[in-house]
Amino acid sequence: MATGKQRPVKRSASQKGLTPASNPAGPHKTGVGKGGEIHQQSTSSDIYLTTQQGIPVADDQNSLRAGSRGPTLLEDFHFREKIFHFDHERIPERVVHARGYGAHGYFELTKSLSNVTRADIFQRVGEKTEAFVRFSTVAGSKGSFDLARDVRGFAVKLYTKQGNWDLVGNNIPVFFIQDAIKFPDVIHAVKPEPDRGFPQAQSAHDTFWDFISLTPESLHMVMWIMSDRAIPRSFRFMEGFGVHTFRFLDEKGRSTFVKFHWKPKLGLQSVMWNEAVKINGADPDFHRRDLWDAITNGNFPEWELGVQLFDQKFADKFAFDVLDATKLIPEEVLPVQIVGRLVLDRVVDNFFAETEQVAFCTQNIPPGIDFSDDPLLQGRNFSYLDTQLKRLGSPNFTHLPVNAPRCPFAHFQQDGHMAMHNPKGRANYEPNSWGEEGGPRETPSLGFRSFAEPVDGPKQRLRPESFADHYSQARMFYRSQTVPEQKHIADAVVFELSKVEQPHIRERMVAHLLTIDKALGRKVGEGLGLNLPAPAVPAKKPIDAGTSEALSIVARGPGTFAGRKLGILATSGADAKTFKALVSAVEKAGGVCDLVVPKIAGITLSDGTEVAAKQKIDGGPSVLFDAVAVPTSEEGIGPLLKDAPSQDFVRDAFAHCKFIAFTPDAKPLLEMCGITDDVLDEGCIELTPANGAAFVKACGKLRLWDREASIDLDA
């Protein structure tokens, strides 16, 4: 990361290969100037972009900052107006992250960081801090479904002894844009198109891909969104990231850069796209129900908090700018140190009072933690407080229990809607001379202090040259995936672009993909039936960033069935020893069994044991489970052979590469679904009383991805 004199470039992106003719019809065409900057070229009229006050806008791509890598300036009235209006677009739900689900828990410190930060929460090993966590999707409304292909919000409110700390992150460590001034644009592009009001909670439409294909800085994030990371199996099986570079400050004000990671103790897991589509139909609340069931059953979800710590010397030598939110630091380059754990052990008492009214603000940080000059983070710090004021209707939203600090607090802020407490006494201002009756006073020794970073440079709107590489880490992410995961990325892009109506948008996107990875670009182009365009020309030549195993879900699979769910499609008369041995093995491994039956009343096993059912077959498809078993009887299998949902149960499980156990009596059902002896693989295991544990152990792989090559037309 260069820190000396840099050649500032407006919009240092790879749009050099784009031509005005490639832009869809409209009042403006997109042009690209020397150095890679974007500007708007008027077409048939003299319409130009202005503020709401009619002031012409010279640059809508970059916020105003002090120097090319300096902090965003408050005087940027265009940025403030744009974000202000965007924050107030939705009443009453959140503009983004509207569909969320929360739970209470605690954070426990396992390694002291007193050598790098004075933050109270990181001082004493073993100390627990109350926490509230809200998971969410980004693009959909409150009424959308859980399994959208989308970023997942991972927002953690920690009620520390020195004030609330809101670590407001995502399950993806990078973002689409580098500058917060573009946030309204990327969200407008992915939201339902304004003239028709659809599609809901989907990115597979023209406006999203039009914006993305004209914004090469988004390409790294696009690889994550098109990967299995964007369709997680559960909140419990996904990572969380603080996204930005923050600072730790010690007692002497010395700075250490830090990036935050939440790592699930149960490992990562996703679903297949076809599976996600069917889950949304079978149970649109799938993620909500999973978290609720896990906590209420005592299977408390847990994450480890990891930190990447580095100094200015590392930042100067690192190949990418640590202030660029579209970049990450690979764990192989800078290991993640585990310093604590987050446990969710209590569901909310009231969804609206807590999950809906919780207010996260990135600006909420305690002493010992500070911001970097990341322009996206700087803009979020402005935006979140403004959003909460509009959404909750009062500056007193911190009076709500879920938002109130757990430590003592005192200030002179008063009145306003729903003020539940006001300062007492005569003085409501500071300084005052009323002595002890004059209220709270400043505390220089304990109070929050910002890092004393020198700031120098002209006021200007630009991106630093160090932000200009948009392809290297996108390539690194794609090439770090296993073969099945790479296939899923290509399939996802083909699916999404097949929903795009404008051919030039598809072509423009494939040009970017060819620059990221030729094989990926060719596969997507072939999947769309395109004549391959020329690869996009980067503004800055990509470098070989290597690969990172930590970026793959499959490469670091959990190797265990703990926390997973087995769906057992069974009939009365099923062998009791086999059934009970299987259930026992699953529970011993830390998993859960759901019985799926033809009649919700349950079944009677061969020894007369009655077993209650969880699902009726037409309401409990195999997509709801991580693996399946089909223990039936000779008498019970007959009706299933005539039942389409029972056949779908088996057929889908096989198509989704799941492990399947079956008793000999169930084999005719498998054969009816096309799973004959010549296609049976190691993931299909004939069940006996003696091998239930072996089957569950095999299920620790979660999927048999080798099967996919033989059952998928696109393989």
Both structure tokens of 442? 């400043």
Q: CA-CA distance, 140 to 190, in Å (whole number)?
A: 9
Distance CA 204, CA 521 (A): 18
Place of tokens 């570079």: 245
* Residue 299 annotated in active site: no
How far is 227 from 231, CA to CA, in rounded Å?
8
What token pair was written down for 240?
């969380």
C-alpha angle with apex 355: 158 to 163, nearest 5 degrees? 20
How big, in percent rounded to 5, are the helix, strand and coil portions of the chain? 30, 20, 50
CA atoms within 13 Å, Cβ hemisphere of 683? 24
Which three-class secondary structure state does DSSP give residue 256?
strand
Residue 117 in tokens: 């930060």
Token reading at 210: 């039009």
Q: How far apart are CA 233 and CA 625, in angstroms?
A: 10
3-state secondary structure 692-708: HHHHHHHHHHCCCHHHH
Which of 224, 218, 194 is CA-nearest to residue 206?
A: 194
List 170, 280, 381, 403, catalytic entry? 170
Residue 132 β-bridge partners? 104, 157
Tokens at residue 509, please? Answer: 């996107």
Angle of CA points 309, 310, 314, to nearest 5°: 155
Name which of 643, 594, 642 is nearest 618 in CA terms. Answer: 643
449 is written with which tokens? Answer: 């202090």
Query: Does residue 158 sit in helix, strand or coil?
Result: strand
Q: Which of 23, 62, 78, 97 is catalytic?
A: 97
Residue 182's SS3 state is helix
Angle between helices 77-87 and 375-392 (to 10 degrees): 40
Q: What is the largest CA-CA distance in the chain?
A: 90
Question: Helices 503-516 and 206-213, interaxial angle, to 10°?
Answer: 40
> Using CA atoms, how far apart are residues 574 and 55, in angstroms rounded to an integer?
76
CA distance 331 to 308: 8
Alpha-carbon torsion angle 698, 700, 703, 706, nearest 10: -50
User: Is 97 labeled as catalytic in the residue annotation?
Assistant: yes
In whole angstroms, give the CA distance from residue 41 to residue 59. 13
Interatomic CA distance for residues 13 and 25, integer angstroms: 22
**What are the CA-CA distances from residue 173 to residues 147, 240, 241, 415, 420 (Å)?**
20, 8, 5, 40, 38
Residue (of 461, 528, 541, 473) closest to 16 by Cα position? 541
Rounded Cα gap, residues 199 and 190, in angstroms: 9
Q: For residue 641, give the amino acid letter.
A: L
Positions marked active-site = 97, 170
